[in-house]
Chain A
Amino acid sequence: MTAGATPVAVAPLRLVVRCWLAHLKYLMSSGFFVAVSSVQPVIFATIAFYLFRAGDRPTSLVYAAIGAGMLNLWSTTLIGSGQALTLLRTAGLLELLVAAPAPFVLVLAPITVATATVGLYAMVATLLWGWLLFDIPLHIEHPLLLVLAVPVTVFGLGMLGTVLASVFVRFRYANALTNLFDYPVWLISGMLVPVDLLPHWARPLSWPLPSTWGVRAVRDSVLGGRPLTAIGICFALGVGYLGLGVLTVRTFELAARRHASLALA
């Protein structure tokens, strides 16, 4: 190792952190992203609060607040995944990044994790909104486990986002596909409606989704329960999607190099 060179194990970590930070800054400068991420979750949370309060479930408002926050965590992940490669391509950076010696997945994964991180705002915003306007108590049963559950959920969703991003790049109108996947995942992940209420055939669809286990982990941490199992499954799914993401990104990269289609929209 020459003087001043970065140790081999540190370089990928530094790359991931820098990419995550850079994309986070980019997202925070996007008026559309900030406005939609900041107002939309509050509107959905308000709908959920009024429905739960007016219906037979006035005691489930914390349940609704967590679920409404998770809605946006998924939405931002989805939007970020749909736009990740398109943004790089439009900015003329895609070819440079693919040609760089660093594995491309180490560039792409932090981008999708950064969008999921922005979605965390929604979680905090909806809880505060519920506390301020609907008198929802902010008591957390397992605060330490919540501190573990939240980043694991972001990691799980971010890794799924990486797989989606590498698949979406094959579609010219990936943004339209992101419009399609909001509500179904909200529904089958049990964010506001328990999975048990869905038809039997739909329930297994929720199992491979990190959002299902993430919302369960956060809920059990806040309301009381055993969040460790859900946290473990969410983390394992994240690792699985990371492995899958490495494969799909590599496949995309090879196909794009072979067909010289990297810069083509």
Chain B
Amino acid sequence: MRSLRIFLFGGLLSYRALFNWIRPSIYIPTMLGKPLFQMMFFTYLGRYSAVADDRFFIVGNAVQASAIAGIFGMVMSLANEREFGTLSAVLATPANRVALFFGRAVPVIANGLFISLFVFGAGIVLLGFRMPLATVPALAATVALTIASCAMFGLAFGSVALRVRDLWVGSNLTYVLMLLVCGVNVPLSVLPGWLAAVGRALPLTHGIEAARQLAAGADMADVAGLIGREALIGSVYAAVGYGLLRLFETESRRRASLDRI
């Protein structure tokens, strides 16, 4: 029961305290405005290059937009703990570590889902995007799973914050790199094999492909393989992230370097 409370309320509290972009003056331009214009930009670029139809770019960018929450949100949830000097207090508690760390992903996932839905909505209103109503629940579930997978990647990435001082460069470049290698705007078939392989090892790639097929009218059974791979990739990153967090926690205790900036 205590672990469940830490998982839910602890995660929510840490999100409110550590997620710097929660203020509307930052949230609206960064979390809603940027993904919206990103989708518009790439959809028009797609129309000009004639590589694929609007659906390809709208779905790709709407799902990828959640990476803002998944990567930056998780990095802030972990890195700011150290930045604000509260990391040692948190790690000194006997709290269950699974609940402590994974609880932080719950608000991140909810936020990512909201951002994705917003961008999908903008695609419907501004660019005339349409999809079969019957596949909306399956699409929503797929997007939620993809965001969860991305949040686990963010957890693994953010765990490095326990050792590295500045993750902002890496976070920004990872986000931009995903635009290239995760099939968001460039079909994987167009990329060189090694670059496509990098994309397939990252979250989003299979989820976006599944979301595109669902938006085109496929049913859940048709995309089960893609969803399974996305879930597997998310699980691997979750395990890596948790392992790294525990490792860095143990190392930092041993070296008394928790709050060293």
Query: Which A residues have a C-beta under 8 Å from some C-beta of B?
Result: 31-32, 35-36, 39-40, 43-44, 46-48, 50-57, 171-173, 176-177, 179-180, 182-184, 186-187, 192-194, 197-198
Residues A51 and B186 in contact, CB atoms below 8 Å apart: yes
Contact (Cβ within 8 A) B41 A54: no
Is B176 touching A187 in the complex (CB atoms < 8 A)? no
Contact A182-B34, Cβ < 8 Å, known A51-B51, A57-B50, A198-B44: yes
Q: Is B177 an interface residue (CB 8 A)?
A: yes
24 A-B pairs whose Cβ atoms sit less than 8 Å apart in the complex: A31-B166, A32-B166, A36-B169, A36-B173, A40-B172, A43-B177, A47-B179, A50-B180, A51-B185, A51-B186, A54-B186, A55-B48, A55-B51, A57-B48, A57-B49, A57-B50, A176-B25, A176-B30, A177-B29, A179-B33, A183-B37, A183-B40, A183-B41, A194-B48
* Complexed CA–CA distance, A226 and B179 (Å): 35
Partner of A187, one of B25, B33, B40, B173: B40
Contact check, A51 vs B40: say whether CB atoms are below 8 A apart. no
The distance from the CB of B174 to the nearest CB of chain A, in whole angstroms, is 11
Q: Indicate if B2 sits at the interface (CB-CB under 8 A).
A: no
Check: B92 CB closer than 8 A to any chain A CB. no
Q: How far is the CB of B157 from chain A (nearest CB, A)?
A: 16
Question: Which 6 pairs between the two chains have the least Cβ-Cβ distance?
Answer: A183-B37, A55-B49, A180-B29, A51-B49, A55-B51, A176-B26
What's the Cα separation between A40 and B178 when bound, in Å? 12
Measured CB to CB, the nearest residue on chain B to A57 is: B49
Number of residues on chain B facing chain A (CB within 8 A): 34
Query: Which chain B residues lie closer than 8 Å to A39 at the CB level?
Result: 173, 176
**Which among A36, A54, A176, A186 is the interface contact of B49 at CB below 8 angstroms?**
A54
- Chain B 28-42, CB-CB to A under 8 Å as 1, else 0, gives 011001100110110
Whole-angstrom distance from the CB of B197 to the nearest CB of chain A?
16
Contact of A52 among B49, B172, B179 (CB under 8 A): B49
Most buried by B among A31, A39, A180, A186: A180
